[in-house]
Amino acid sequence: MSGKRNRLIVAALTLMLFSTSASAQNADTTYALIVYGGGGFTRNLSQFDVLPSGLQRNGFGGTLRIMMRPEHLLRVGLETGLTQVYYVKSEGVQTDFGITDFTSSMNAVPILLVFSMPLVEHLDIYAGSGGFLMYSNTESFGTQVTASAMSIGFMLGLSYMVPLEGDWGIGGELKWYHMDKFSDDNIMLHLMVSYRFLEW
């Protein structure tokens, strides 16, 4: 399964590179640094060997990304943020130590190198890879335990941004995160704003 995901990422990046090489480069090309930020809905798609009782797959997440945008060229940048992977809440759980309420959340902070290219006006495709800092918070018997781990991962996304007056833009983004450590997959729909803060 991970081999198919790797091939999908390679295919997306290859498509971007071939499309970029086919584009003419102008001597008066301008460059810009653009920051994107936003957040919204996330849905966990992971497969569990045993489905946890009280599993809640829906949650919220946020994205922060900075991109260098040359005209008519492949764009490159960095992405981070915070997304809930899933949440578990069970009441009256019977254990060897007695009955307790149990809650556990898994969250992820991506640190990704991302590439993008325009498909049509205002519509960009994104692909990237890097690491995810994954951390869980678990509470039972009145005690809270936090654990963390690093995972490699990938992302694919589509972004539709409409320019506003000045250097601002607004739009939406649909993307998929795969986190390899525990074979977690999340799909996200985010409302995004952008700001071009530097151009040369």
User: What residue spans define the domains of the chain?
Assistant: 2-23+30-199
Phi/psi of residue 57, each to 5°? -90, -20
pLDDT at position 118 is 92
pLDDT at position 26 is 46
pLDDT at position 14 is 55
Measured CA to CA in angstroms, residue 8 lies from 80, 130, 186, 195 at distances of: 21, 15, 16, 30
pLDDT at position 56 is 96
Q: Which two tokens stand for residue 2?
A: 């991970």
Record the pTM.
0.82
Question: Whose CA is closest to 137, among 159, 105, 113, 107?
Answer: 105
The whole-angstrom separation of Cα 105 and Cα 86 is 6
Q: What residues form DSSP beta bridges with 153?
A: 130, 179
The whole-angstrom separation of Cα 56 and Cα 66 is 31
Q: From 2.40.160.20, 1.20.1540.10, 2.60.120.380, 3.40.50.150, which CATH number describes the 2-23+30-199 domain?
A: 2.40.160.20
The alpha-helical segments, DSSP class H, found in 2-154 are 2-21
Q: Split the chain (200 residues) into runs of 10 and give each run's mean pLDDT.
A: 59 52 51 96 94 93 95 89 94 78 94 95 96 94 91 98 94 98 96 94
pLDDT at position 88 is 94
Q: Which two tokens stand for residue 51?
A: 């489905």
